[in-house]
Amino acid sequence: MSFDYRNGSLYCESVPLAEIAASAGTPCYVYSAADILSRFLEYDSSFDAAQPHTVCYAVKANSNISVLRLLAQAGAGFDIVSAGELYRVLRAGGDPAQVVFSGVGKTFAEIDYALKSGIQTFNCESETEVEWISECASRQGKEARIALRVNPDVDAATHPYISTGLKENKFGIDIALAEDAYRKASQLPGLVVDSVSCHIGSQILNPTSMLEAVDRVLALIERLRAQGLRITNVDLGGGLGIGYKPGDATPSIPDYIGHLNARLAGRNLHVTVEPGRSLVAEAGVLLTRVILQKHNGAKLFTVVDAAMNDLMRPALYQAYHEIQPVHLPMDRPSVSADIVGPVCESGDFLAKDRDMKAVEIGELLAIRNAGAYGFVMSSNYNSRPRAAEVLVDGASWKVVRERETFEDLVQHEM
Ligand code: LLP
């Protein structure tokens, strides 16, 4: 783990976080390049040598182009869900031939751009989308590779907003209707229908449900093959969670991939996985400074300079993020406090009733596990310029996205 205390001061790799805050200001996201790369390699190297595979990083988790470049240089593919994400991948030097395009509402223009860019596969979520891709490919005189994203009706046992594999969710095509949809798709011009995909949700701590979905998808592939379809690839999506709360262990990537190896052996399938959170969440913190503290009745509020517009997960999913002092306080009493931002909403909190050592005005806090779905979900709400982003590599670090200015706030307005 690249975030650790040395002599009472929190470091990212070999750089004191206080040094970054002093120079780049707060709030500020800080990512460890070593952490991101080591998790990517853990995925990549856990597949059996004989198992053809592609690890397609889910760009939505953290789409800073320096992060994408790091992964592209390590050989990663990418899972995108919009033309904007494809643009970022290409700007970062990613290989379009290793890009898969997921998402429930691709527009015709997005399909056109992706086809022109030469992406590897469209993971299709409706018959209308399949028809559009066929039409677009025919117009361009190209062939488009497609998978149908099937909805295996498995409960991912995660927060309802990030569960996607149940019949009641908007995602995918009901697995019971998939054979018919495959038959129709395989008759359309301009398509190579050679893949099946699924993704049942995110922040899954117990991979049993993911493996249940894998079994259902592999059974579907057998049925499709028996009907003469040449299925050569399976895309198993992302979803592996991380331990946000002190008692929650982060599931082991090699264990999960080991289960996949066992299920895939001898099936003659290339496998794609689309991890997002498990590659980058633990590799990032959000650095923030205490503005002031106040009591309302018996309650203590610690007001910091990061808010729900910077890190939306607590407000949106009641998510728990560990919060650590950048300098370990000596001899401070323990208190229970709400850590809140300056935004004018009671939903603007980063932690509720958190037991912690007392902090003082001006001190720095690190909100842990903020590398995934942190900056990417941030906004300018309350006209707050978005935070800076910093990438640490060993003893050196650089700003990879500048803090926004007031001018940035209004630049597209008239
Ligand atoms: N593939 C597809 C098709 C997806 O929809 C997602 C995530 C992933 C891969 C990556 O899943 P991961 O490995 O990161 O679990 N904003 C939420 C998470 C939303 C996830 C959406 N889809 C959060 O902050 O928890």
Residue 338 banded pLDDT, cuts 50, 70, 90: very high
Q: With 80 as the cut, is the pLDDT of residue 162 above it?
A: no
Q: What's the token pair of residue 124?
A: 């299709």
Residue 168 banded pLDDT, cuts 50, 70, 90: confident
Q: How far is the CA of 167 from the centre of ligand 1 (A)?
A: 18
Q: How far is the CA of 299 from the centre of ligand 1 (A)?
A: 35
| Cα-Cα-Cα-Cα dihedral sign, residues 210, 61, 160, 110 | negative
**Do 30 and 364 meet the contact criterion of CB atoms below 8 Å apart?**
no
**Do 340 and 249 meet the contact criterion of CB atoms below 8 Å apart?**
no
**Residue-level pLDDT at 329:** 79
Closest-CA residue, ligand 1 atom 7, reads 202
Q: Is residue 85 part of a domain?
A: no
> Helix or strand or coil: residue 412?
coil
Q: Is residue 127 part of a domain?
A: yes
Give the residue carrying structure tokens 């597209």: 412
Q: What is the spatial distance between Cα 391 and Cα 389, in angstroms, rounded to a whole number?
A: 7
211 and 181 fall within a common domain = yes
288 and 327 fall within a common domain = yes
261 and 360 fall within a common domain = no
Residue 155 banded pLDDT, cuts 50, 70, 90: confident
- Give whole-number Cα distances, 399 to 24, 243, 307, in Å: 7, 27, 21
248 and 382 fall within a common domain = no
**Do 70 and 39 meet the contact criterion of CB atoms below 8 Å apart?**
no
**Omega of the bond prior to 27 within 30 degrees of 0, cis?**
yes
272 lines ligand 1 (CB under 6 A): no
Ligand 1 atom nearest the C-alpha of 159 is 25
Q: Is residue 204 part of a domain?
A: yes
Residue 330 banded pLDDT, cuts 50, 70, 90: confident
Q: Is residue 70 part of a domain?
A: no
**Residue-level pLDDT at 164:** 73
Residue 25's domain is classified under what CATH number?
2.40.37.10
Ligand 1 atom nearest the C-alpha of 279 is 13
258 and 122 fall within a common domain = yes
Residue 247's domain is classified under what CATH number?
3.20.20.10
Q: Is residue 13 part of a domain?
A: yes
Domain tally, the chain: 2
190 and 309 fall within a common domain = no
Ligand 1 atom nearest the C-alpha of 275 is 13
Q: How far is the CA of 162 from the centre of ligand 1 (A)?
A: 7
What is the share, in percent, of the chain residues with pLDDT greater than 70? 100
Give the residue carrying structure tokens 């996205």: 401
276 lines ligand 1 (CB under 6 A): yes
Q: With 90 as the cut, is the pLDDT of residue 157 above it?
A: no
Residue range 385-396: mean pLDDT, rounded: 98
Q: Is 344 a catalytic residue?
A: yes
287 and 255 fall within a common domain = no
221 lines ligand 1 (CB under 6 A): no
Q: With 80 as the cut, is the pLDDT of residue 160 above it?
A: no
Q: With 90 as the cut, is the pLDDT of residue 109 above it?
A: yes
274 lines ligand 1 (CB under 6 A): yes
Ligand 1 atom nearest the C-alpha of 372 is 24
**Residue-level pLDDT at 331:** 87
Strands in 63-180 per DSSP E: 77-80, 99-101, 121-124, 144-151, 173-174
Q: Which of 273, 292, 317 finishes a domain?
A: 273
Q: Which of 273, 295, 315 finishes a domain?
A: 273
353 and 288 fall within a common domain = yes
Question: What value does the mean pLDDT of the chain take?
Answer: 96
207 lines ligand 1 (CB under 6 A): no
Closest CA to 85 of 59, 120, 61: 59
> Helix or strand or coil: residue 302?
strand
Q: Out of 69-73, 162-166, 203-207, 275-279, which region has the weakest mean confidence (pLDDT)?
A: 162-166
Q: What residues contact 60, with CB distance under 8 A and at least 6 apart?
A: 81, 85, 276, 373, 376
Q: What is the spatial distance between Cα 21 and Cα 132, in angstroms, rounded to a whole number?
A: 49
Q: With 80 as the cut, is the pLDDT of residue 16 above it?
A: yes
Q: What are phi and psi of 104, to 5 degrees?
A: -90, -15
> Helix or strand or coil: residue 341?
coil
Q: Per-residue b/e over 389-399, b at no fewer than 16 CB within 10 Å?
A: bbbbbeeebeb
147 and 293 fall within a common domain = no
Q: How far is the CA of 164 from the centre of ligand 1 (A)?
A: 9
Closest CA to 326 of 285, 378, 369, 270: 285
**Residue-level pLDDT at 229:** 97
Q: Is residue 69 part of a domain?
A: no
Top mutation candidate among 57, 60, 312 for ligand 1, by most atoms within 8 Å of CB = 60
303 and 219 fall within a common domain = no
Q: With 90 as the cut, is the pLDDT of residue 167 above it?
A: no
Q: Is residue 65 part of a domain?
A: no
pLDDT tens, residue by residue, 30-82: 999 999 999 999 999 999 999 999 999 999 999 999 999 999 999 999 999 99
Q: Among the options 12, 124, 198, 344, which is catalytic? A: 344
245 and 120 fall within a common domain = yes
Ligand 1 atom nearest the C-alpha of 149 is 3
* 15-16: strand order across its sheet: 3-6, 9-12, 15-16
58 lines ligand 1 (CB under 6 A): yes
Q: What is the spatial distance between Cα 267 and Cα 221, in angstroms, rounded to a whole number?
A: 10
Q: How far is the CA of 61 from the centre of ligand 1 (A)?
A: 7
Give the residue carrying structure tokens 């409960």: 155
**Residue-level pLDDT at 163:** 72
pLDDT tens, residue by residue, 125-136: 999 999 999 999
Strands in 152-283 per DSSP E: 173-174, 191-197, 233-235, 270-273
Q: What is the spatial distance between Cα 300 and Cα 359, in angstroms, rounded to a whole number?
A: 11
pLDDT tens, residue by residue, 281-308: 999 999 999 999 999 999 999 999 999 9
Q: What are phi and psi of 311, to 5 degrees?
A: -135, 105
Q: What is the spatial distance between Cα 161 and Cα 370, in angstroms, rounded to a whole number?
A: 18
- Give whole-number Cα distances, 87 to 113, 143, 285, in Å: 9, 21, 26
Q: With 90 as the cut, is the pLDDT of residue 195 above it?
A: yes
Closest CA to 129 of 104, 109, 154, 93: 104
341 and 394 fall within a common domain = yes
Q: With 90 as the cut, is the pLDDT of residue 28 above it?
A: yes
Ligand 1 atom nearest the C-alpha of 103 is 3
Domain that holds residue 8: 3-30+282-410
* Chain centre distance of CA 370: 11
Q: Which of 205, 239, 273 finishes a domain?
A: 273
Q: How far is the CA of 203 from the centre of ligand 1 (A)?
A: 8
Q: How far is the CA of 114 from the centre of ligand 1 (A)?
A: 21
275 lines ligand 1 (CB under 6 A): yes
**Residue-level pLDDT at 77:** 98
Q: Is residue 167 part of a domain?
A: yes
Half-sphere exposure of 74 (CA within 13 A, CB side): 26
> Helix or strand or coil: residue 28?
strand
**Residue-level pLDDT at 159:** 78
Closest CA to 208 of 183, 240, 186: 240
158 lines ligand 1 (CB under 6 A): no
